[in-house]
Amino acid sequence: MSPGLSRIAPEQAASPDWAAIDWVRLVASVRSGEKAGMEQLYGLFVRGIRFYLCRQLGTQDVEDKVHDTFVVVVEAIRSGELRDPNRLMGFVRTVVRRQVAAYITEAVTGRERLRPESEGTLSSHDVTPEEAAIESQQEEIMARILRGIPSRDREILTRFYLLEQPQHQICSEMNLTETQFRLLKSRAKARFGELGKKRLASQKFS
């Protein structure tokens, strides 16, 4: 359990009310070890820290890593490393990135020490059969969408997502406005999401 926390604080709702957060007061509260401050900090950041760690490191032992990262954040705040409370976001981001780097270094040096036949703590990134089935369905849906749109629209999407051409280049060469470009992408993605949900719904009831 994190120092000063006697219970797990609830996680923040979908999107915080930025205007209502008093960063100066929050940081002061954490520095002085107040439970309310710790709980507010936890509620605000735990989900985002977990999100970031999962993306960078995978899901193995993620809750332990989230907890450890949160402890590092709190200790860094309490030791005065954060000079400007209004820069708390950037500070937390920096701490999380440092933690990720440390975990990666630990995993790499640990891997080098392991004998091939011994078990280690290396996480498997193999796709499970369920994940493979979901990917296959997504590919079917995508193929259906791409075959159903005009070839010009396909070219626009290919330039952006596959060739990674910048938006301004695509718009200039294809004679598109920015709005047209955004609408095209958003329609394709909305269709993908919609067909995915329909497929999922039909499987639940079959």
Closest CA to 96 of 125, 124, 121, 67: 67
* Cβ-Cβ contacts under 8 Å for 81 (sequence gap 6 or more): 91
- For the purposes of burial, counting CB atoms within 10 Å of the CB of 77, is it exposed (0-12), middle (13-18) or buried (19 or more)? buried
Q: How far is CA 103 from CA 39, 51, 68, 84, 206, in A?
A: 25, 15, 11, 27, 43
How many chain residues are in contact with other proteins, going by CB under 8 A? 53
Candidates 142, 171, 176, 195: give the one binding other proteins (CB under 8 A).
142
Between 4 and 46, CB nearer to other proteins: 46
Q: Which of residues 57-116 bind other proteins (CB under 8 A)?
A: 87, 89-90, 92-93, 96
* Token code pair at residue 72: 């590092």
- Residue 13 contacts other proteins per CB under 8 A: yes
CB 11 within 8 A of CB 48: no
Contact track, other proteins, 22-61, x by CB under 8 A = ----------------------xx-xxx-xx---------
Provide the binding-site residues for other proteins, judged by CB under 8 A: 12-16, 18, 44-45, 47-49, 51-52, 87, 89-90, 92-93, 96, 135, 138-139, 141-143, 146-148, 150-152, 154-155, 157-164, 166-167, 169, 173-174, 182, 185-186, 188-189, 192-193
